[in-house]
Amino acid sequence: MTVLVAPDSFGDTLTAVAAADCIAEGWLAARSQDTVLLAPQSDGGPGFVDVLASRLGAVHTTRVPGPLGADVDARWLLHDDPDGAASGLTTAYLECAQCCGLHQLGGTPTPHTALAADTTGLGELVVAALAAGARRLVVGLGGSSTSDGGAGMITALGGPDAARALLADIEIVVASDVENPLLGPLGAAAVFGPQKGADPVTVERIEDRMRQWAQVLTEMAGRDVGELPGAGAAGGLGAALLALGGHRVAGATVVAQATGQSEVVAQADLVITGEGKFDSQTLRGKVVSALTSAAIGRGVPAIVFAGQVTLPAEEIADAGIAGAYAIVDRAGSVEVAMSDAAAQLTGFAADVAARWGD
């Protein structure tokens, strides 16, 4: 049997690449006769570059300012694809979490960091990518600590007018599964601010700041980009990229195309995917949903490993998924499932493999 192992990251505990390795190791421990294909996935958030690095491009590292100003080493990819969808353009794959992710704060996010964190580092990554010959930028959004609406990035590019001129002939792909607008009750501050340490007062301050910045973006773009799907992604960074002429594509779709997902699914007799928490949000266009749908569409059974499974069994069955397995059930507690994630996932994969087909 040929098994495709294609998980997303398991929150902050396992990267997609590490999770795929664990599942493969466990599965083969119980079913050594099977062939296992690895294709870790991403929605554009943390791990986006590492997932793509396993399939394409040359990895570059550039030292840029982190979200609070201290320098960080950010990884990105440069890829030439003369026969692909990019029409021969040299493509740079950038991940905003590499330079302004929550993990770059050095501690727990607070109201102060929610206000202070900025996207300057991403602007410097863009400059580095252009200097290396990139004519197409694919920017993965997710896991950011910032709520500056991309103001730091625009400033690093020389300001609104200079940024528009610099990127006038550059294709920009905004890789994100977030559809939220920039402002309002469903916007960047209200929905994502609390995740970045903002208390209610700070959320209001960020919203006010974002409202003023939105006017600058409107003038820069010649249209209101704040209501476009994805404008609120990564603390409003999506809006800035859209104002620079970008267009949004689901991050999972970007990775699926780059990793040849449809071709490897066609080779599989079973598809295994996974994520940190399998819940109602999963079926709304996330990696696991996209992958299981692709498998089911080809008549291939799909199963899901997750740290926790909170989706009702009937919804899992209605989605056509053959099984969903929670690591916490094996570990006995969330704490053990997270602190011993690699061993627990490896062991769980072996357990399921040993029973597969019974």
- Give the residue ranges of DSSP H helices in the chain: 16-30, 48-53, 97-100, 111-116, 120-131, 151-156, 160-166, 200-221, 233-243, 251-258, 261-267, 287-297, 313-318, 327-331, 334-339, 341-355
The fold of the 48-252 domain, in CATH, is: Glycerate kinase, domain 2 (3.90.1510)
CA–CA dist 11, 328 (Å, integer): 14
CA–CA dist 214, 272 (Å, integer): 42
Q: What is the pLDDT along the chain (358 residues), one digit of tens a residue?
A: 999 999 998 887 899 999 999 999 999 999 999 999 999 988 888 889 999 997 787 899 999 999 999 999 999 999 986 554 455 689 999 999 999 999 999 999 999 999 999 999 999 999 999 999 999 999 999 899 999 999 999 999 999 999 999 999 999 999 998 899 999 999 999 999 999 999 999 999 999 999 999 999 999 999 999 999 999 999 999 999 999 999 999 888 888 888 788 888 889 999 999 988 888 666 666 788 888 888 988 899 999 999 888 888 888 888 889 889 988 888 788 888 788 889 999 999 999 999 987 5
Copy the structure tokens of residue 48. Answer: 């986006």
- Please report the pLDDT score of residue 277 as a whole number: 84
Q: How many other CB atoms are there within 10 angstroms of residue 122's CB atom? A: 33
Copy the structure tokens of residue 81. Answer: 């694809």
CATH superfamily of 2-41+262-355: Glycerate kinase; domain 1 (3.40.50.10350)
Copy the structure tokens of residue 205. Answer: 């301050």
- Dihedral pair phi/psi, residue 314, rounded to 5°: -70, -35
Rounded to the nearest 5 percent, the helix, strand and coil shares of the chain are 45, 20, 35
CA–CA dist 164, 160 (Å, integer): 6
- Please report the pLDDT score of residue 278 as a whole number: 83
Nearest to 48 by CA among 124, 99, 87: 99
**For 240, what's the count of Cα atoms within 13 Å in the CB-facing half-sphere?**
31
CA–CA dist 128, 101 (Å, integer): 19
State pTM to two decimals.
0.88
Place of tokens 């709304």: 284
Copy the structure tokens of residue 64. Answer: 């840029």
Q: Residue 281 is which amino acid?
A: Q
* Domain boundaries, given as residue ranges, for the chain: 2-41+262-355, 48-252
